[in-house]
A = this chain, B = another copy of it.
Amino acid sequence: MYPKALQNAIEQLRKLPGVGQKTAERYAFALLNYKPEEIQDFTKSILEAKMTLHPCPVCGNLAQNDVCDICADKHRDPSLICVVQDVKDVAALERMAEYKGLYHVLGGVISTQKGILPEDINLETLLPRLTPEVKEVIIATNPTLDGETTALYLAKRLEKQNCIVSRLAHGIPMGGHVDYVDEMTLIKAMEGRKKMK
């Protein structure tokens, strides 16, 4: 029905999350109307993101250089480490512009249902980071079943460490996701964080 090249592009655009046939067609036609240099910018930006970004070897956040921008920032407070599930959660917490500590991105949560074990997530790299300098580990996994499981597992693992282990508090609705919460709720959650041990 459409020329082969257009059908291919539509098929590829359909693979994006939540994109159906009509939306993919709409995107494809919009892209066909781009100027050649705009199309180059579009595809180049995607290729470059894929090529240059990698997990930060220290914290697991997305990094463009050796370590991520937050780990590289000398003005961050190294006595605080906030443990999050996902890179998007770092961005959400950064948006509230209140937290000045460091992060640790698990890149997932322990899930008995999905068969995700502690060794499947970025957890082992957290322990070597817990030098005496670190005063508190704030666990900010989502308040879902798997997120809570991970938080409890983590609290247990950090039991013998000489630092406070806390959990983001009231404010985040149960079953919700950290990166969809508004700034105010996140500030409340950060202020009311609770000790886990």
Contact = CB atoms under 8 A, between A and B. Distances in A.
A8 B48 contact: yes
A31 B43 contact: no
Contacts of A46: 9, 12-13, 28, 31, 39, 42-43
Given A18-B26, A26-B17, A9 B49 contact: yes
Protomer copies: 2
A39 B51 CA distance: 10
A146 to B, nearest CB: 19
A16 B30 CA distance: 7
Interface stretch (A62-70, A114-122, A126-134, A135-143): A62-70
A160 interface: no
A25 interface: yes
B43 A9 contact: no
17 contacts: A1-B95, A3-B69, A6-B49, A9-B48, A9-B49, A11-B45, A12-B45, A12-B46, A17-B30, A25-B91, A31-B50, A32-B50, A32-B62, A39-B47, A39-B50, A40-B47, A42-B46
Interface of A: 1-6, 8-9, 11-13, 15-18, 23, 25-32, 34, 36, 39-43, 45-50, 52-53, 62-64, 68-69, 87-88, 91, 94-95
